[in-house]
Structure 1
Amino acid sequence: MAIVNSVEQSESPVLLITPDIKTMESLSEEIQFFAGENYEFPVYTFPDWEVLPYDTFSPYQDITSERIRTLSKIIRLNKGLIITTVATAMSRLMPVSYLTARVINFSSGDTLELDHFKNELVEFGYKAVSQVVEHGEFAFRGSILDLYPMGRQSPIRIDLFDNIIDSIRKFDPETQKSITAINEINILPANELDFSESGIKQFRQSW
């Protein structure tokens, strides 16, 4: 396809702007289907929020998750394709510094200070719930922490021994059963914007 050839020949990431989300998703599927395994560059979609920033209701968590995942990937992207919509291309985005300052990385065997970590999760937009089922949620049950990080396809379960991370596993949000063990995890912020009082005030002054 012409698009694939253009991306392969480009020395920097290519931005493809589509009229709407339906076209964006269709193009993404077509490019990956027809190119098969012949292309060696990542394809990221960056959907529209479908609501206005600081509206009275929030966008779907899956949309926010995909947007934050894409933003985290393209910060250091040297080659690849980013597909988005006209509305998204015309909107303002979070500063790179906002995103990079709100990423948490840890591995099995690391020490996790629970009180500090809980405060960080809330500060980064995560919500405490009794059972984790969607992006941006976390739940503590004794020595077990369930968390659904933004940008991931499945939630994770962290088993603690005192304050030491004993294991990290993916789990099924429907059955709540643990699946695959992983060694490390990075947690992205749950919001693209600062929803603190000072953050909302600053946004209104500059919007």
Structure 2
Amino acid sequence: MLRNWQAFQDLAKRFAGGDVCLRVAGLAGSARALAVAELLQIHPRPVLVIVASLADAHRFAQDLKFFGAPAFEFPEREPQLWKGGHHREAEAERAMIVRRLTAGEPIAVVVTPAALDTPLPAPGEFREGTLRLATKDSLDRELLLEALEKAGYERVDTVVEVGQWSARGGIVDVFSPMHPSPARLEFDGDDIESIRLFDPTTQRSTGSLDELLVLPLVAVPETADAGATRLLQYLPAGAPVIVDAPRLLDETSEDAPGRRPLAEIIAGRPRVELEVLAAGEADVTLEALSVDSYSGKFDRLVDDANRWRAEGFTVRLVAADPGQAEHLREILHDHDLDTRVVDALESPDSIAIVVGELSGGFAVPAVGLVVLAETEVFGARRRTLRRPKYQRGAALTAFTDLAVNDLVVHEDHGIGQYLGLRTMRIGDKDADFLLLEYADGNQLYVPVDRLDLVSKYLGADSGAARLDRLGGASWQRVKESVRAALREMAEELLKLYARRSVAQGHTFAGDS
């Protein structure tokens, strides 16, 4: 969408040339991600995108995916203190990203400075721990099981989450980060007869593989010196680094005062700095403007869309899912604006609706493009809704609000049991922690200054509540299902509001 713009062509040429430092000004909001995505489409290569926070990482990666770039968030070190168990989802995500980088795949890895500083196993150690299994291979099944244990995989009765394996008879199931679902290996003696992907819910086969790559899970070492391996050592030589917030280059972290400045860490790498405001020292200026929020005022939205169309602009309205897109199409039709729901941004329609997740809209006058995200179209709505089975619970104002053995809900890890307050020595200071126990006896220490993450469990029957597993996917699935339920309810409300907005009322006579 930007490729015919001379200013962008200049940027792409300099990006391909590997400028040591390229300053780009003028890009607002998700237009930054559009520019990065199109650069990677023109010049495919691995790239690192450094952002200020985890929330920024999620938004930037989400926007990159919307614009067609393969993007991944690299997890930070877990901030809590763990006792027993692993955060296998994060370990699996690290393993998958590291593998793709070492293979030179043209992916965008979005990181925070803290994630960039996370110590990792050495590349040689990672390569040695990678298992490549193919049909008709002969190998000792027991040695395979030992290798899975060594690679950090958890033995379970039924494989449902990444980083797990199980064995029964001549069948070994394993869920590698390189695949979206687990694989089933069927043995005939020491020979692998078949490798099939399967649905962990139904256990039904979804396809066959000739080869399965089992990656070692990338756990963060508990202790590491300054010379330990970091993510940059997995990034191919010459791969560029994009800094979303150049102020980060010289900032020091209060949480890690010994960490080197970011500018020093990435020194010698080609880098692109994205500035919001156009500045005299910028090498390239790309004007992308923020857009107004219509907050459900569709008369004004339709007037502006028709004006943009008359001026030759391409207008794209973004909806989160197909149902929401269809509702938006109906609302616009009721306001005398006929549109289509299209599969891609670059369709011939002057005004169209695109399905996807985008953090915010923007306008690029130079190429005649306006993109409105769902938040600009509908605005942020606050709704009072029925509580789901799992709920945020009663907010805590102090740890004294809890009694030992109370059930609690941690925002990131789900239902656990409060075991009391513990004081631990951290460096040269004593610190207080809430001790929470989860399934399988795994324990989590939560700093009292993060009390906002914990609330009392308010289920109808606390005695029947099941503890979640630390590092498991069950709590994430619950949150996703709740989001889906809320979205469905929101869609029904939108339908209702749309019908009300076009319904014809009846004027009654005055009182007699």
Q: Same fold (TM over 0.5)?
A: yes
Residue pair 1:66, 1:150 contacting (<8 A) in 2 also: yes
Query: Which residue number corresponds to residue 27 of structure 1?
Result: 60
**Relative to structure 2, which stretch is displaced further, 16-25 or 133-142?**
16-25
Q: Which amino acid aligns with 2:50?
A: I
1:112 CA displacement:
2.4
CA 1:70–1:204: 2 relative to 1, 3 Å:
closer
1:18 lines up with 2:51 in the alignment = yes
- Partner residue of 2:75? 47
For the aligned residues, what is the CA RMSD? 2.6
The answer for the alignment partner of 1:65 in structure 2 is 92
Deviation (angstroms), 1:205:
7.5
Question: Structure 1 pair 73/19, CA: closer, same or farther in 2 (3 Å)?
Answer: same
Deviation at 1:5, TM superposition (A): 4.3
- Using the TM superposition, give the Cα deviation of residue 186 of structure 1 relative to its aligned residue in structure 2, in angstroms: 0.7
Counterpart CA distance in 1 for 2:86 and 2:141 is 29
AA aligned opposite 2:152: G
How many residue pairs match? The answer is 194
Contact 1:28 1:45 in 2 (8 A): yes
Give the drift of 1:71.
0.7
Q: Distance in 2 between matches of 1:172 and 1:165?
A: 20
1:121 pairs with one of 144, 148, 151 = 148
Tell me: CA distance 1:108–1:56, structure 2 relative to 1, closer, same or farther (3 Å): same
Q: CA deviation at 1:135?
A: 1.7
Task: Give the match's secondary structure for 1:153.
Answer: coil
The reply on whether 1:186 has 2:213 as its aligned counterpart is: yes
Partner of 1:152: 179
Change (3 A) 1:6 1:101: same
TM-score in terms of structure 1 length:
0.80
Q: CA–CA distance in 2 between the matches of 1:4 and 1:11? A: 10
Structure 1 or 2, whichever has the larger Rg, is 2
> Does the C-alpha gap of structure 1 residues 116 and 8 become closer, same or farther in structure 2, counting only changes over 3 Å?
same
Q: Spell out, residue by residue over 1:44-86, the C-alpha distance to the aligned partner (whole angstroms, 9 max, x if none).
A: 331223336x842555322221111001111132644221122
Unaligned runs of 5+ in 2: 1-33, 229-512
Three-state SS of the structure 2 residue aligned to 1:117 is helix
Give the structure 2 partner of residue 197 of structure 1: none
CA contact (8 A) 1:49 1:59 kept: no
1:172 paired to 2:199: yes
Superposed CA deviations along residues 4-52 of structure 1, whole A, max 9, x for unmatched, are: 344457686321112233321221221221x34xx6xx43331223336
1:32 is matched by which residue type in structure 2? K
Are residues 1:111 and 2:134 paired?
Answer: no
Q: Is the 8 A contact 2:57 2:111 kept in 1?
A: yes
What are the ranges of 5 or more consecutive residues in structure 1 without an aligned counterpart? 195-199
Name the amino acid aligned to 1:158.
L
The amino acid of 2:71's aligned partner reads V
- SS of 1:152's equivalent in the other structure is coil
CA 1:72–1:110: 2 relative to 1, 3 Å: same
Does the 8 Å contact 1:51/1:58 carry over to 2?
no
Q: Secondary structure at the match of 2:79?
A: coil
Task: State the AA in 2 paired with 1:44.
Answer: F
1:139 aligned residue: 166
Q: Which has the higher contact order (CA 8 A, sep 6+)?
A: 1
Question: How far 1:189 sits from its partner (Å)?
Answer: 0.7
Provide the TM-score with structure 2 as the length reference.
Answer: 0.35
Could you tell me how far 1:137 is from its partner in structure 2? Answer: 1.4
Counterpart of 2:190 in structure 1 is 163
Q: Is residue 126–residue 138 contact of structure 1 (8 Å, CA) maintained in 2? A: yes
Secondary structure in 1 aligned to 2:132?
A: strand
- Alpha-carbon spacing, 1:91–1:110, altered in 2? closer, same or farther (3 Å): same
Contact 1:150 / 1:189 at 8 angstroms: preserved in 2?
no
**Quick one: distance in 2 between partners of 1:95 and 1:15?**
19
In structure 1, distance between residues paired with 2:163 and 2:73: 20
Check whether the contact 2:118–2:220 (CA below 8 A) recurs between aligned residues: no
| SS of residue paired to 1:51 | coil
